[in-house]
Structure 1
Amino acid sequence: MFKTILTASFVLAAIAASSSAIAAIQTVTLDVPGMTCSSCPITVKKALMKVEGVQQVKTNFDKKEAVVTFDNVKTSTAQLRNASGNAGYPVSVKIAQ
């Protein structure tokens, strides 16, 4: 029994280690057509920065977009879309890198 538990522990540790090796930093450009005033980019940035795994957000009012750099193991573009949408700014993926 102990040997089985010990083996299972090693297997789980190996899986965890390999999962982090797969982690990749990604950048996505989000189209944010609802940004209509100078405070909108601030609100969008705050909402996106609250998402676990987000490392950087650059908003551009003139282009009506947000460029987000994130860890794809901790979050996804779907979670980014949800966060912005919940803040009142629905987005769509413009460019994923």
Structure 2
Amino acid sequence: MKRSFVALATLVALTAPAWAAPKIVTLSVPTMDCPVCPITVKKALTKVPGVAQAEVNFEQREAIVTFDDAKTTTEALTKATKDAGYPSTVKR
């Protein structure tokens, strides 16, 4: 009985999904040069699967993105802004 419990616990541990915590990243988007640019950047970011929220600030030339790191990466986020015409980098 004890062996089957250990085997079952191991199986559950190996097959259970990994729950990812939401991550927040700030992207520097220096090429935004008009007040309408943030709309395009926000649209590009919110189309990335796993993005829960994107706040884009024209004055600061940055985007704050909340995302699920099990579904996307910072590389995918910067690619999305680049593909929209606004290259970005992760602010550290």
**Range class of TM-score, shorter chain:** 0.7 to 0.9
Larger Rg: 2
1:52 aligns with 2:52: no
- Give the superposition deviation at 1:16: 4.5
Q: Which runs of 4+ in 1 moved over 4 A?
A: none
User: What is the total number of aligned residue pairs between the two structures?
Assistant: 84
From 85, 92, 96, the equivalent of 2:82 is 85
Letter in 2 for 1:47: A
RMSD over aligned CA atoms reads 1.8
Q: Give the partner amino acid of 1:59.
A: V
SS in 2 for 1:85: helix
Shift of 1:49: 0.1
Identity %: 54
Q: Which has the higher helix share?
A: 1
CA–CA separation in structure 1 for the residues paired with 2:15 and 2:50: 17
Q: 1:26 to 1:42 in 2, by over 3 A?
A: same
1:75 to 48, 72, 76: 72
